[in-house]
Homo-oligomer: A and B are copies of this chain.
Amino acid sequence: GNDPYPTRLARTPDLPWLQRREAVVKGDAGQGPLSADQLERFERQGFLFEPGFLNAGEVAALRREMSSLMNTPSFRGRPFTITEPDSREIRSLFAVHFLSRRFRQLAEDPRLIGRARQILGGEPYVHQSRINYKPGFKGKGFNWHSDFETWHAEDGMPTMHAVSASIVLTDNHTFNGPLMLIPGSHKVFVPCLGETPENHHEQSLQRQEIGVPGEAILAELIRRHGIEAPTGAAGGLLLFDCNTLHGSNANMSPDPRSNVFFVYNRRDNRCQAPFAARRRRPEFLAHDPDREWTPDL
């Protein structure tokens, strides 16, 4: 076909990866809030970490809201609530900007929208939102992956005009499973082996095995670029390109690790039919820019 980013292949392709076609940063510094230097770092590394993005009061309010959402009995056992593979602990809660007014305000905060607009060079909407919660000792890791690979294959996102904003709601340190990234990996697309099974998200959101680059390719990218894991106090903002390879280890500490994620996609990059799956994933994972979502409780 003429898909520029073929993936979920039946056999090993000739090339380990393809060059990315789209520019990374499509706006400029003139509009603010990000400086030319910050945009240059995002362009080169595929991510930008801003410590102290939210103040302590904002963080405290968001943590209370997160706790309230995670303890809402009617959310238990619902498809948008994902538990750990080996326990009943909540691992992720999706569509939080539709479940909570406070998270919606945050998703629409001009400081975030402004950054997304600068990077994407156009109007952003929230393609996906979620809280990831990694409980002390029990929280497992995430294998290395590109989010775009999944969104392209399973949600029908055509091109790389999306950026994730992750705000850490707990202090992030070496031992509670911080997000790790491969800087520079966003400039290549790594086709993955293996056809997408039916209802793949029911498995992959607990432990992803398909849509994961081969080990030899990962090894080569890490040898070239290394691994970075921004850590620091709650309230830090990590912006990362939709195609930056990232993962995380298990939480070996008693301290839970939680983040809230908003994925901003450019309106003219809205999702179509999936590129490598039979059916689109449910809407709580991939929102339509012109449709409200409700949990149907």
Residues of A within 8 A of B (CB): 136-138, 141, 144, 174-175, 177, 180, 215, 218-219, 222-223, 227, 229, 247-250, 252-254
Would you give 21 A-B contacts (Cβ < 8 Å), ordered by A? A136-B215, A137-B144, A137-B215, A137-B218, A137-B219, A138-B215, A141-B252, A144-B252, A175-B180, A175-B227, A175-B249, A177-B249, A219-B254, A222-B253, A223-B254, A227-B252, A227-B253, A247-B252, A249-B250, A249-B252, A250-B250
Residue in B closest to A142 when the chains form the complex, CB atoms: B252
Query: A174 touches which one: B141, B215, B229, B247 (CB < 8 A)?
Result: B229
CA distance A79 to B136 in the complex (A): 34
- What's the least CB distance linking A226 to chain B, in Å? 9
CA distance A175 to B215 in the complex (A): 15
Beyond the given pairs A144-B252, A215-B254, A250-B250, 6 more chain A to chain B contacts, judged by CB atoms under 8 angstroms and listed by A's residue number, are A136-B219, A175-B227, A175-B229, A218-B254, A223-B254, A249-B250
List B contacts of A248 (CB < 8 A): 252
List B contacts of A252 (CB < 8 A): 141, 144, 180, 227, 247-249
Which of A218, A229, A250, A254 is the most central at the interface, judged by chain B CB atoms within 10 Å of its CB? A254
